[in-house]
A and B are shown apart, each in its own frame.
Chain A
Amino acid sequence: MSSLTAPAAAPPPALEAVHLSKHYGSGANRFDALSDVSLSIAAGECVAIVGKSGSGKSTLMHVLAVLDAPSEGEVRIHGTNARSLSARALNRLRNREFGFVFQQFFLNAQQSVIDNVTLPLTIAGQRRGARRERARDVLASLDLLEKAAAKAITLSGGQKQRTVIARALAGSPSVIFADEPTGNLDSATGALVEDLLFSLNREQGITLVIVTHDDELAARCDRQVVLRDGRIVSDSAAPVLEEASR
Chain B
Amino acid sequence: MRTIDLARTAIANTFRSKLRTTLTVLALFVGAFTLTITTALGAGVSSYIETQVNAFAADNVLLVQAQTDATLAAESDGPAEWDPESSTSSNAQAGGTPLAGAQAEPLTDDDLDAIAAIDGISGLDPVRTVSTDWVSHDESGQFEFAVNPQSAVTVADLEAGAQLDQGSSSFQVVLPNDYLEALDFDSADDAVGAEITIGMTDITGETHELTAEVVGVSRSSLFASGAGANNALVTELSSLRTAGIEGADENSVIAIAYLDDGLSTTEIDDVTAALDDAGFSAQTIEDQLGIVTTIIAGITGVLNAFAIVALIAAAFGIVNTLLMSVQERTREIGLMKAMGMSSGRIFTLFSLEAITIGVIGSLLGVGAAMLVGSGIGAALAAGPLAELEGLSLFAFEPLSLLGVVLLISAIAFVSGALPASRAARQRPIESLRYE
Is residue A125 within 8 Å, beta carbon to beta carbon, of the partner chain? yes
Is residue A184 within 8 Å, beta carbon to beta carbon, of the partner chain? no
Q: Which residue of A lies closest to B335 (CB)?
A: A106
B5-A122 in contact (CB<8A): yes
B428-A67 in contact (CB<8A): yes
Q: Which residue of A lies closest to B331 (CB)?
A: A106
Q: Which residue of B lies closest to A93 (CB)?
A: B340
Interface residues in A88-126 by Cβ distance below 8 A to B read 88, 90-96, 100, 102, 104, 106, 108, 110, 119-120, 122-125
B2-A125 in contact (CB<8A): yes
Is residue A87 within 8 Å, beta carbon to beta carbon, of the partner chain? yes
Is residue A52 within 8 Å, beta carbon to beta carbon, of the partner chain? no
Known contacts A106-B331, A106-B335, A123-B1: A91-B432 contact under CB 8 Å? no
Is residue A68 within 8 Å, beta carbon to beta carbon, of the partner chain? yes
Is residue A62 within 8 Å, beta carbon to beta carbon, of the partner chain? yes
CA distance A88 to B335 in the complex (A): 16
Interface size on A, residues (CB 8 A): 26
Q: Which residue of A lies closest to B343 (CB)?
A: A87
Q: Indicate with 1 or 0, residue by residue over A127-159, a CB within 8 angstroms of chain B CB atoms.
A: 110000000000000000000000000000000
B331-A123 in contact (CB<8A): no
Q: Indicate with 1 or 0, residue by residue over A162-186, a CB within 8 angstroms of chain B CB atoms.
A: 0000000000000000000000000
Interface residues in B1-51 by Cβ distance below 8 A to A read 1-2, 5, 9, 16
Is residue B339 within 8 Å, beta carbon to beta carbon, of the partner chain? yes
Contacts of A104 in B (CB 8 A): 432
Known contacts A68-B429, A102-B432, A119-B336: A91-B331 contact under CB 8 Å? no
Q: Indicate with 1 or 0, residue by residue over B318-333, a CB within 8 angstroms of chain A CB atoms.
A: 0000000000000110
CA distance A124 to B2 in the complex (A): 8
Interface size on B, residues (CB 8 A): 20
CA distance A102 to B2 in the complex (A): 25
Q: Which residue of A lies closest to B329 (CB)?
A: A108
Q: Name the prevailing secondary structure of the A interface residues.
A: helix
A62-B429 in contact (CB<8A): yes
Q: Which residue of B lies closest to A103 (CB)?
A: B432
Known contacts A102-B432, A110-B16: A123-B341 contact under CB 8 Å? yes
Identify B340's interface contact among A95, A102, A106, A127, CB under 8 A.
A95
Q: Indicate with 1 or 0, residue by residue over A62-96, a CB within 8 angstroms of chain B CB atoms.
A: 10000110000000000000000001101111111
CA distance A108 to B340 in the complex (A): 17
Identify A123's interface contact among B334, B336, B429, CB under 8 A.
B336
Q: Which residue of A lies closest to B337 (CB)?
A: A91
CA distance A106 to B330 in the complex (A): 11
Interface residues in B335-367 by Cβ distance below 8 A to A read 335-336, 338-343, 345
CA distance A124 to B340 in the complex (A): 8
Shortest distance between the CB of B48 and any CB in chain A (Å) = 53
Known contacts A92-B340, A125-B2: A106-B432 contact under CB 8 Å? yes
Shortest distance between the CB of B432 and any CB in chain A (Å) = 6
A67-B338 in contact (CB<8A): yes
Query: Which of B1, B335, B428, B429 has the largest count of A CB atoms less than 10 A from its CB?
Result: B335
CA distance A4 to B336 in the complex (A): 32
Contacts of B341 in A (CB 8 A): 91, 95, 123
CA distance A73 to B2 in the complex (A): 36
Q: Which residue of B lies closest to A111 (CB)?
A: B12
CA distance A91 to B338 in the complex (A): 8
Identify B338's interface contact among A100, A108, A124, A127, CB under 8 A.
A100
Contacts of B332 in A (CB 8 A): 106, 108
Interface residues in A29-52 by Cβ distance below 8 A to B read none
Q: Which residue of A lies closest to B16 (CB)?
A: A110
Contacts of B331 in A (CB 8 A): 106
A119-B339 in contact (CB<8A): yes
A122-B1 in contact (CB<8A): yes
CA distance A142 to B9 in the complex (A): 26
A94-B338, A119-B339 known, 16 other contacts, Cβ within 8 Å: A88-B342, A91-B341, A91-B342, A94-B340, A95-B341, A96-B340, A100-B339, A106-B335, A110-B16, A122-B1, A122-B9, A123-B336, A123-B340, A123-B341, A124-B340, A125-B5
Q: List 27 A-B contacts (CB under 8 A).
A: A62-B429, A67-B428, A67-B429, A68-B429, A87-B343, A90-B340, A91-B341, A92-B340, A93-B340, A94-B340, A95-B340, A96-B340, A100-B338, A102-B335, A102-B338, A106-B331, A106-B432, A110-B16, A119-B336, A120-B339, A122-B1, A122-B2, A123-B339, A125-B1, A125-B5, A127-B2, A128-B5
